[in-house]
Structure 1
Amino acid sequence: MKWRTVPAARFAEHAQTWQTLHAATGASALLSPDFVAPLLAEFGTGAELLAYCEHAGAVAAMAIVVPSGRGSWASFQPSQAPLGLWLQRPELPLEALLAGLVRALPGFPLVFGLTQMDPALMPRPADSPSLRTLDYIDTARVTIHGSFEAYWTARGKNLRSNLKKQRARLDKEGVPLRLQLSRDAGDMAQAVADYGRLEGSGWKAGCGTAVDASNAQGRYYRRMLENFCARGAGCVYRYFFGEQLVAMDLCIEDGDSIIVLKTSYDESVPANLSPTLLMREAACRQLFDEGKYTRLEFYGRVMEWHLRWTDEVRTMYHVNYYRWPGLRRLHTMLASRPPARAATQ
């Protein structure tokens, strides 16, 4: 197995090879060129490398990697990417691939970090003298099987009762509820602008992290969603109280699953109403009734509301590979030390 690297700014030249490997390995849509290329365009700094491994006359692994500190490299991991940007043929051992990659990277790195791996897509490897895995976050999914009524009956009584009361209240006040689904690539610019207005009216605006049609996040989501919608695999949910847009989901589709990438809601809505949960109920009903998908993936840290929606939770993980086993032992020892106590007067 021989690794080579080129500047990731040349990703377009290698996109077809990435696509071929992506298709051959059945990898997540979150690792497709339609998802990866806009990430590099908007969030790359120029330091990223595209690494590819040749084995038995074909490319068997690819990754986007970046220096992550003195003596270390890691997979490129902007916050908009739920998964580490790593592709490999599943029959090849991960540890051997990482060993070859570390030797091929510039600057004689001692450690390589492979971030945000999903055990449902790539089984968690066992620790070894040179390899250590670490828990990342718990994430949740909903299996879409059977009728919505059966699924909904299995949810907690408080959730069902609360949303029923909210719908009844809005109906009494003459406020119609409407779920709108957009799938056309030409609609994505407006969808991202609408999403940005929702998110920009809330707490994220004050932190400078809100999506806006004119910032890097807005440009990324527009381009990525246009890519997916152009091949019939992207969608945006909007939820309305009358004519007021109150909640949105930005989603992509991955074979038999649908992935929620971003959710926002109008924070001016009274606190005793839950527009996001009402939208989620309506969207889930539609997904169960259509029977097109078998999974709804949330990909994000499990929140309390997720656990009202599902009990299917799994732990994502990171992988650290060390050039020498002694480094792994030293790192493990240092990580296990209790924090130093501050001196007292």
Structure 2
Amino acid sequence: MSWTLLPASEFAAHAARWHALNQASVNSPLLEPAFVQPLLTEFGDGGEWLAACERDGRTVAMALLKKTQQGAWQTFQPSQQPLGMWLHLPGQALPELMDSLLRALPGMPLVLGLTQFDSWLHPRPADGGQLRTADYISTARITIAGTFDEYWAARGKNLRANLKKQRARLAKEGIVARMDVLRAPADMAQAVADYGVLESAGWKAELGTAIHPDNAQGRFYRSMLENFAQRGEASVYRYWFDDRLVAMNLCIEGGGAKIVLKTTYDESLSSHYSPAFLMREDTCHQLFEDRLFERLEFYGKVMEWHLRWTDEVRSMYHITHYRWPALKSLHTLVKNLKGGRAPAQPAAQPVPARHTEPSTE
């Protein structure tokens, strides 16, 4: 087993290897080069490294890494990426891979952290002499199985009644609610611009984190969605009240999943309406009818509103590997003395912010 380290600026030259490894392992669209390369372009600072492990003439693991502090490295983790950027073939021992990588990194680092692992894609390993896991967040999904009527009947009475009431109110006011879906590469630039207009009118504008066509966020989402649209795997949902755009979802697809990356809505609407909820109902109805996907993934910290739409919740976690077992023991001692603070643990990255609607139930 041997690791090669290259500047991440050379990722494009090794994208085919990364793609093949993703397809042979977790098969997640979030780890496709079409998603990863725009992240590096817009959010990398030049300090990222691409690591590749060869065993018996084949690539068995790859990762994008960054030195975070003296003696510590971890996976490159911009907030726009829900998953840790690590791949390895099934059957390869993760602790062995991490130990060999830690010893191959320059400067004799003491700790290697892998962030934001999905327990459904990577069953959580047991803590060992040199390895520790730590909770990150819980996340939710909807499995597309059975009929929409069966799914909808299993939802809470308040949610169903509230959306029915909203649709009746819209009809009474003569407002036509409709949804369209953009999939063509040529439509993605305008879709991101429209999304930015909606988002910039809300609370994110005050924080300076809203998407804009000319900022890093906007450039990332445009480039990434164009990449996926060229493969027929991007979908931008737009929801309208007559000719007024009131809500949007940015989604990518692959590996049996449709993944909702971002949702926004018109915050100036009357509190009687929850356009993102109405859009989600129509989206789910379409997904259950078309049966093109196995699941709808939300990826993000479970909020109260998620639980109105699903009871499928699972955990995500971080992994830390120490150079020596004694270092892990020392870290445990320090953590206990400081009341749970863990200086050597990988820093939890911010959860990508998503708009949530006020309850109208």
Alignment TM class, shorter chain as reference: over 0.9
Deviations 1:154-208 (A, max 9, x none): 1000000011111111110011000110100110000000011111111111111
Deviations 1:101-135 (A, max 9, x none): 11111121101110000011111111001000001
Mapped to 1, the partners of 2:198 and 2:297 lie a distance apart of 22
Percent same amino acid among aligned pairs?
59
- Could you tell me which residue of structure 2 aligns to residue 53 of structure 1? 53
Deviations 1:129-149 (A, max 9, x none): 100000100000001111111
- Could you tell me which residue of structure 2 aligns to residue 343 of structure 1? none
* Structure 1 counterpart of 2:59, one-letter code: V
Deviations 1:39-87 (A, max 9, x none): 0000000000000000111111000000111210000000000100001
* Structure 2 counterpart of 1:200, one-letter code: S
Kept after mapping to 2: 8 A contact 1:76/1:84: yes
Kept after mapping to 2: 8 A contact 1:27/1:87: no
Deviation at 1:339, TM superposition (A): 4.6
- Could you tell me which residue of structure 2 aligns to residue 328 of structure 1? 328
- Could you tell me which residue of structure 2 aligns to residue 74 of structure 1? 74
- Could you tell me which residue of structure 2 aligns to residue 300 of structure 1? 300
- Could you tell me which residue of structure 2 aligns to residue 90 of structure 1? 90
- Could you tell me which residue of structure 2 aligns to residue 166 of structure 1? 166
- Could you tell me which residue of structure 2 aligns to residue 109 of structure 1? 109
Kept after mapping to 2: 8 A contact 1:114/1:320: yes
1:263 partner SS? strand
* Structure 2 counterpart of 1:217, one-letter code: Q
* Structure 2 counterpart of 1:288, one-letter code: F
Mapped to 1, the partners of 2:136 and 2:92 lie a distance apart of 23
- Could you tell me which residue of structure 2 aligns to residue 261 of structure 1? 261
- Could you tell me which residue of structure 2 aligns to residue 220 of structure 1? 220
Mapped to 1, the partners of 2:61 and 2:329 lie a distance apart of 28
Mapped to 1, the partners of 2:240 and 2:331 lie a distance apart of 52
| 1:188 corresponds to 2:188 | yes
- Could you tell me which residue of structure 2 aligns to residue 252 of structure 1? 252
2:305 partner SS? helix
Mapped to 2, the partners of 1:191 and 1:334 lie a distance apart of 49
Mapped to 2, the partners of 1:188 and 1:108 lie a distance apart of 45
Mapped to 1, the partners of 2:72 and 2:271 lie a distance apart of 46
Kept after mapping to 1: 8 A contact 2:27/2:255: no
- Could you tell me which residue of structure 1 aligns to residue 143 of structure 2? 143
Which deviates further from its counterpart, 144-153 or 13-22? 13-22
- Could you tell me which residue of structure 1 aligns to residue 343 of structure 2? none
Q: What are the ranges of 5 or more consecutive residues in structure 1 without an aligned counterpart?
A: 341-345
Mapped to 1, the partners of 2:338 and 2:323 lie a distance apart of 26
Deviation at 1:263, TM superposition (A): 0.6
| 1:291 corresponds to 2:291 | yes
Kept after mapping to 2: 8 A contact 1:249/1:263: yes
Mapped to 1, the partners of 2:314 and 2:169 lie a distance apart of 36
Mapped to 1, the partners of 2:142 and 2:290 lie a distance apart of 15
Deviation at 1:26, TM superposition (A): 4.4
Mapped to 2, the partners of 1:80 and 1:210 lie a distance apart of 12
Deviation at 1:338, TM superposition (A): 5.0
Kept after mapping to 2: 8 A contact 1:252/1:258: yes
Mapped to 2, the partners of 1:195 and 1:337 lie a distance apart of 47
Deviation at 1:12, TM superposition (A): 1.0
Mapped to 2, the partners of 1:266 and 1:287 lie a distance apart of 24
Mapped to 1, the partners of 2:294 and 2:260 lie a distance apart of 14
Q: What are the ranges of 5 or more consecutive residues in structure 2 without an aligned counterpart?
A: 341-361
Mapped to 1, the partners of 2:73 and 2:253 lie a distance apart of 31
* Structure 2 counterpart of 1:241, one-letter code: F
Normalised by the size of structure 1, how large is the TM-score? 0.97
Q: How many residues align?
A: 340
- Could you tell me which residue of structure 2 aligns to residue 274 of structure 1? 274
CA RMSD of aligned residues (A): 1.1
* Structure 2 counterpart of 1:48, one-letter code: E
Deviation at 1:29, TM superposition (A): 1.1
| 1:37 corresponds to 2:37 | yes
* Structure 1 counterpart of 2:271, one-letter code: A
| Alignment CA distance shift 1:157-1:260 (3 Å) | same
Kept after mapping to 2: 8 A contact 1:134/1:319: yes
Which deviates further from its counterpart, 25-34 or 224-233? 25-34
- Could you tell me which residue of structure 1 aligns to residue 359 of structure 2? none
